[in-house]
Each structure stands twice: as C-alpha cells, then as structure tokens.
Structure 1
Amino acid sequence: MVIVSPSNQRPVQEQFESWNHAVSETFSSVSCERAGVLNAAFDGRLECSRLGGMHLAQVQSTPLDVYRRKTHIAEVCDDYYLVKFQVEGRGIFSQRGREATLMPGDFVLASTVDPYELHFPQSYRQAVLAIPQTILKGQLRDPEQYLGQRMASDQGFNGMLSQFVLSLLQRIESFEPSLAQRLEANILDLLVTSLSSSIPPQQRLDRDLRVEHIFRVKSFIYKHLKDPTLTPDMIACAQGISTRYLHMLFKPEGLSVGRYIQQQRLQGCKSCLENPEMNSFSATEIAFRWGFNDASHFGRCFKVRFAVTPGQYRKHSQQSVALGGVGQG
C-alpha cells in the first residue's frame, strides 16, 4: 500500500504541490487547486492498494478543486475508468456535459480519456477504483453512456456496491494477493449490475441475443482465467451453448476464444509484474498463477504482446514507479 500524507513541517504551498503530484501519479495527471481560505493549513491523505488489474485508493483532504484538462490527456498514460465513491462530505463531478452532486454512499463513473472537473467545497473523503478500460469494456456494453451519471446509494444495487468497496478498503492489507484478485471479479460483477440496472428499460440500448451471450461468456472467462483447464468446451458447457456457437459469438470480435483468454491472462501477468508486492514470485510463477502451463510459451506470447520480455518489463515498470515516488493508476 502506498500512503501519502504531506508533512506539516513543510510550508503549506510545498505540502500542496507534493499532494498534487501524488494525486496525479496515483490516478492520472490533474491540476489541483485549493478552495476556500488559501492561507489556511492544508491537510490531505492518500492510500492506494492494488487488486488484480485494478487499483483501489482512498483520498481525503481539505476543500479542493480538481481539473483534468486536454493538456493532461495529451500526456502518455493508460486509459482507465475511475469509479469515484463519496465517503464523507460532498463532491460535484462533471464530464461530457453531465453534472453529478455526490453525497455519502453515491458514486459516479469517470473516464481518464476525457476532460472532467471535481469540486469539494468542504473537507471530504472518497474511495476511487481505477479499472483499465479494456477490462470494463469486456464486461459491459458501452460504458461511456454512464459517464457523469450520479449513482445514488438508495437506488438499485448502488448502496451494496459502495458498502462492499468501503469494507474492502478497511481490510485490504490483511488479504493475500490471490484473495484480493478474486475479490476484483466480485467488484466488477456488482459494478456491472449497478450500472446496467440504472437506466430505465425504455432508455437502455437494444441488445440482441448475441450481445447478451458474449458479455456473459466474457464475465465467465474473467472469473476463471487462473484455471489452466479453461477451454472453449468448458465455457460452452457452463453457459449452456454449443462450442460451435461459442466460436460464432467471437467471430465479430476479430479474435478467437483462445486468443481472447490469452490476452486477458497476459494483462493479469503484466499487472502482477508491475507490483513490487509480487517480487517474491518469479515471472514463471506469476504466469502459472494466471493459468499458463508452459514458461517458454508464456515468454514468447508476452514479448509479442508487449515488445519486451517479462523480466525486462518488470524491471522497467518498477524503476519508473520508484522514480515517480507513487505508482500511477
């Protein structure tokens, strides 16, 4: 877990600049501006933990305005969806012309590839879940339609998801890495359920049978990635469809079922190689944990996908984090 708390021994402006840097490195590049009385003391705290391919952070500070601008987006960064859960205080979030006023228990979906603003008129606390866009898009059709929409705690499954995330934050340091990665699938399930049920039926996007099947199949694959026996036959049997139909479902995706499974496993291995807490495991051990059963095959696939060997990627990514001071998410 990365913990940042500006030292009171430093001048207020230095504390704030340190805070802005830490927030940008943890989530994505933003500009933070102090709200309220500018010469007042600044207080902030940031904690960040890693699940599988996702990051979970908790952030709190005195009044603050946050801006993600086009100049930030032009910088090199990964594409994430940020799920912002209001824990204490009030937050006002806007993106793509939508504005959501968040009260404790509410949450909103944001994208790092579009500008947004976030205003905290009083002291606040938020939990932030950072999800690589490829992961959520593999589970949910058109996540973009939910951006900037207030997900009220008293509607649908929203409150259940918020409570689950807050409970996880309180205990995450006591979990084994393997358990934290399994919990990631549970969070995704609840998030997809909450978002999907938030729009009245008459306003939802039309979904044909193929679309419904493909998203159920991808969800099953994600939950069983670490099972080396995961095969098209196993998936088809679990979903009550034929193997032939399963392959037909993936034809419009532009890749086979097997290739999709491989890409998701490689993404999981990549996330583990970035994580210093996984340094006690060799690259081969990590590969086996994610369902690969041949070290040479894994090494070749990883290099084709990311243009470097697993060892080179681990060294480069962790050196970059060390130089930055806080892991980017």
Structure 2
Amino acid sequence: MQSRSYPFRGGFARPGWNFCSAAAPLRKGELQTIFTTRDVHPRDRFDYWHSVACKEIVEHESFPDSRAHFEAEIEVGSVGALDLVAFQNSPLKVEHAQAHISRMSSDQLLFCRETSGLVSVEQDGRQITLHPGDMTLLDPALPYSAKFSEDSRTLVLKLPRRELQARVGKTRGMLARQIPVGATDDTLISSFSAALPSLAGQVRPVCGRLAADFMLDLIAFSLAKAVESTTLRISSTKAMAILEIRATIKSRLADPDLDPQSVADAVGLSVRYANNILASQDTSIGRLILRERLEKCRQALEEPVQLRRSVSEVAFGWGFSDLTHFGRCFKKVYGMSPSDYQLSHRKG
C-alpha cells in the first residue's frame, strides 16, 4: 500500500504515527494505525476521521450520535491482493449514495466481518444485522447504508472484483447476505479472515498470494452457499459447481493424468455441461487446468527458495508431460521463456 499522510492539529501525521505527540511504531504482525482520535481536540475528531475514512474505506456521509464525544481508530494493511481495513468508532450512521458513486470507480468489493458490537446494513433492498463473527459482501458501486452500535469494530477485506467474479460470476444477488458464524464452513472463513491482520507485512509475497487466493476461495464458497436457498438457486448452484471444478483442479494439478474428463467425473457432471457453465466466465476445464499449472510454475520459478530447481523439474512437478508445449504456453502468457524468467529472478 502506498505511503500516506493526513493533516491534524499542528502538522501532518504519517503512517506509523498516531494523532498524538509521540511515535507509535508498528508492532510485528499487526495492521498499521493511520488514524486515532486520541489526543486530538474533540472539536476536530469527527472531521479528521471522516476525511481519512472516505479515503481508506469508501466515500460516504456520516452522522454520529455525538460529535463532541466521538472516538474512532482506523488501521490498514495488506496480504497479497487483499487490502485490509480495520476500524472502530462511536455509534454513527453511514450513507454511501449515488453522488459518491458518480465520483469514483471501484474495481474492488467489500467483504465485511464484524469483530465486536453490532452493525445493521442495507443494500440492494436487503437489510441485515451483523453480530460478532458474522460477515457480508457489499458493493461500493451501489448505494448502501450502515448503522454502527456502541463498541462496534469491523474488519473490511477489499477484494479484487474480477478475482471474485471469476469464481462466482455476477455478485449482485450475493450482496448484503448474512453469513453467520456457526456452521463449520462459515466458522472457518470467519476465523481465517480474523487471522489475516496478523499476516499483514509479515509473510513472503508468495505466501501472501497463497493466503489471499485461499481467502477468495473461502469467500466464494460461503457466498454461493448463502444464496443457495433463495430465488437465485439456479445461478448459485452453478456457482457452487464452478467452485467444485476449481477446487478439484487445484487439488490434483500435480497429476499428469488430470484432464477434463477426470475433473468432470470427480464433480459428477458431464464435460459438456461443465464447460457450458464455465463458458460464462470465458473459460473451460482444459483452459483452467493449463492456467493453474502455468501460474504454479511461474511462482516456483521466481520464488528464491526454489531457484535451485530446474525448469524441467518444476514443469514435470506440476503435471506437464511435454516441455516444448510447456515452454510455448509459458512464453505466450508471460512474455518470455521459462528459463529466461527464472534467470531474471536469479539476477534480481
């Protein structure tokens, strides 16, 4: 994430500093506090918080229960492709309206997990209340409102829109659906999302990418399951089928015998029907297998701890059986041969 500075009484606050006189260094495995109302004059607190919140979360209008006694804190970080924002604030109402949307372009979706307190959310005609551990998806490209209770603390994962839609298709019908903590699957996603802040800035880039990819898979599964019993049953069933196809492919990438028929058999579909479903995302079983294998090989060729491995070892390890085919496909996607790609990272 880019370095930021925000105005406050007497100067500027930079990342790693609270709005107070002394430095507040970032401790290992934590998000970075970029704003806190501590030691800010009460008359300035809300206005400064609102300015930072509009930049870091989403542009909006806020209506606090009490300006004079307003308190808040905002922390940020990132894990792989996921930007994280954790915030807590005094009771207030938030409105993200069409006027705000017209001034922005968003390539991200907001996955929210309530850590403590309560928050009521309304978007696209649905209204829900999140309790601690509960989660939901919001789209900043559409209006929404939220009301935060006393002691509310929320973690927001900013998801790459294209990455999530590649997993579940169109997401509008999945917005403002309550994902309650309770079921084993949803407890897993709630627990893993709660653990993400501890990884911010602490893991290798490749581990960050793996964690983000796993988080996106879990979110996609929970969203598809959340709408399974609604009027969107047909589309959600297809989304679940896509997730099962992707999960099967990922779990068997190293198998050189993995092919469209074996994947279709594993998920209980015909190859033709599976490819018809995947066509909505402009792909097929065969193309998914190839893309996932190439990505795993690319990661291995650039990861410092794997640079001792030969190109052939990497390719065969991820299920390729023809080095010429592998090299041609790799160069088409990444713009250089596998050996040149590996060499460029050895020099780096």
TM class by shorter-chain length? 0.5 to 0.7
Paired AA for residue 68 in structure 2: N
For residues 144-293 of structure 1, the aligned pairs below 5 Å read: 144-155=172-183, 157-199=185-227, 201=229, 203-206=231-234, 214-217=242-245, 236=260, 239=263, 253-254=281-282, 257=287, 261=291
2:62 corresponds to which of 32, 49, 70? 32
How far is the alpha carbon of 1:159 from its aligned partner?
2.5
Contact 2:61 2:95 in 1 (8 A): yes
TM-score by length of 1: 0.66
Partner of 1:100: 128
CA contact (8 A) 1:138 1:218 kept: no
Q: Match of 2:173, SS?
A: helix
- Which residues in structure 2 correspond to 1:134-153 (within 5 Å)? 134-153=162-181
Q: Does 1:114 align with 2:142?
A: yes
Deviations 1:241-288 (A, max 9, x none): 7xx968776655457848x959x98xxx9xxxxxxxxxxxxxxxxxxx
Across the aligned residues of Structure 1 and Structure 2, the Cα RMSD in angstroms comes to 4.0
Size of the alignment, in residue pairs?
Answer: 268
Structure 1: 5+ residue stretches without partners:
270-290, 300-329
- Quick one: distance in 2 between partners of 1:237 and 1:178? 31
Write out the 4+ residue segments of structure 1 that deviate beyond 4 Å after TM superposition. Answer: 200-204, 207-221, 244-256, 291-299
Q: Which amino acid aligns with 2:33?
A: I
TM-score, with structure 2 as normaliser? 0.63
Quote the residue 1:129 is aligned against.
157
Cα distance, 1:145 vs. partner?
Answer: 1.6
- Over residues 12-34 of structure 1, what are the superposed CA-to-partner deviations in whole Å (9 max), with x where a residue is unaligned? 34332222222222222122232
Instruction: Percent identity, please.
Output: 18
Counterparts of 2:237 and 2:67, CA distance in 1: 56
Greater RCO structure (CA 8 Å; 6+ sep): 1
Distance 2:224 2:239 in 1: 14
Distance 1:158 1:254, change over 3 A: closer
Which residue number corresponds to residue 42 of structure 2?
A: 12
Question: Looking at CA atoms only, which structure, 1 or 2, has the larger radius of gyration?
Answer: 2
Residue 82 of structure 1 aligns with an amino acid whose one-letter code is L
**Comparing 185-194 with 115-124, which one deviates more in the overlay?**
185-194
List alignment gaps of at least 5 residues for structure 2: 1-30, 266-270, 300-325, 337-348
